[in-house]
């Protein structure tokens, strides 16, 4: 009868393949969104450190359109060069004054949300083959939900639902393969962003520690 568990099972089985396909499309759009997010964060970090090193006499200069990760690495190297040379008093004072502005916003610390979102997107790729298998099981289960006295038609019903089972498995595998390829395209950039953030934190912590001690020493002197 309508609304029975057997009817519900058949309905879910018939929708398994479209649901997997729709989820894969949304998953792909999530990767596009993450790529845009990563580029914006990297551009923001590079802009912050461009302003942070603007008063240095010897700083890295780049042409328009240069890779943002390379720019950020070069700016961090400029800061380390100043920190490694205690004789550069003017540059160290300039960095110390700029550090107060950089430390007020602390945008270099805003990374947990992105890393969590990417980890979810990457991990959930593994769910698509399982969803395909689940759709196959649902299709076979729907075929076996025969009313009493009609067991003789079970084979014909299984054959009828066999197409749904195959397409569900196919959709799950194709979605997983496609999204794994997409992840391989963006993974390096995302990991480099994480490494850049770590280097930024370490460099900022070192700059705050050493420049604050130097400023305190000058005041006491």
Distances (CA, A) of 136 to 1, 83, 133, 170, 206: 24, 62, 5, 10, 56
Q: When comparing pLDDT for 40 and 65, which is higher?
A: 40
Only one residue has tokens 């890393």, namely 115
SS3 state of residue 146: coil
Residues 138-186 pLDDT 10s: 777 776 766 555 555 556 666 667 777 788 889 999 999 999 999 999 9
Integer Cα distance of 26 and 28 in angstroms: 5
Which of these, 35, 168, 205, 170, lies nearest to 114 by C-alpha position? 35
> Predicted confidence band at 221 (pLDDT cuts at 50, 70, 90)?
very low
Longest CA span, the chain: 100
Q: When comparing pLDDT for 102 and 17, which is higher?
A: 17
- Full-prediction pTM beyond 0.75? no
- Domains of the chain, start order: 5-216 (1.20.58)
Helices marked H in 106-153: 112-123, 127-144
Q: What pLDDT, on a 0 to 100 scale, did the predictor assign at position 1?
A: 43
Residues 159-172 pLDDT 10s: 667 777 788 889 99
Which of these, 198, 180, 189, lies nearest to 39 by C-alpha position? 189
């Amino acid at each position: 009868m309508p609304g029975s568990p057997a009817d519900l099972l058949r309905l879910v089985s018939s929708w398994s393949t479209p649901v997997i396909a729709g989820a894969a499309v949304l998953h792909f759009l999530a990767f596009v969104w993450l790529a845009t997010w990563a580029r914006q964060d990297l551009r923001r970090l590079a802009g912050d450190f461009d302003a942070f090193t603007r008063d240095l006499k010897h700083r890295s200069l780049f042409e328009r359109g240069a890779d943002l990760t390379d720019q950020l690495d070069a700016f961090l190297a400029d800061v380390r060069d100043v920190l490694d040379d205690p004789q550069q008093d003017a540059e160290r004072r300039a960095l110390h004054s700029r550090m107060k502005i950089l430390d007020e916003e602390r945008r270099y610390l805003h990374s947990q949300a992105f890393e969590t979102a990417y980890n979810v997107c990457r991990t959930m790729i593994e769910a698509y083959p399982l969803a395909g298998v689940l759709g196959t099981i649902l299709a076979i289960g729907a075929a076996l939900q025969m009313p009493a006295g009609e067991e003789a038609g079970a084979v014909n019903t299984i054959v009828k639902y066999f197409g749904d089972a195959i397409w569900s498995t196919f959709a799950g595998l194709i979605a997983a393969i496609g999204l794994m390829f997409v992840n391989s395209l963006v993974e390096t950039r995302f990991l480099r962003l994480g490494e850049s953030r770590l280097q930024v934190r370490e460099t900022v912590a070192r700059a705050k520690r050493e420049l604050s001690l130097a400023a305190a020493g000058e005041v006491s002197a």
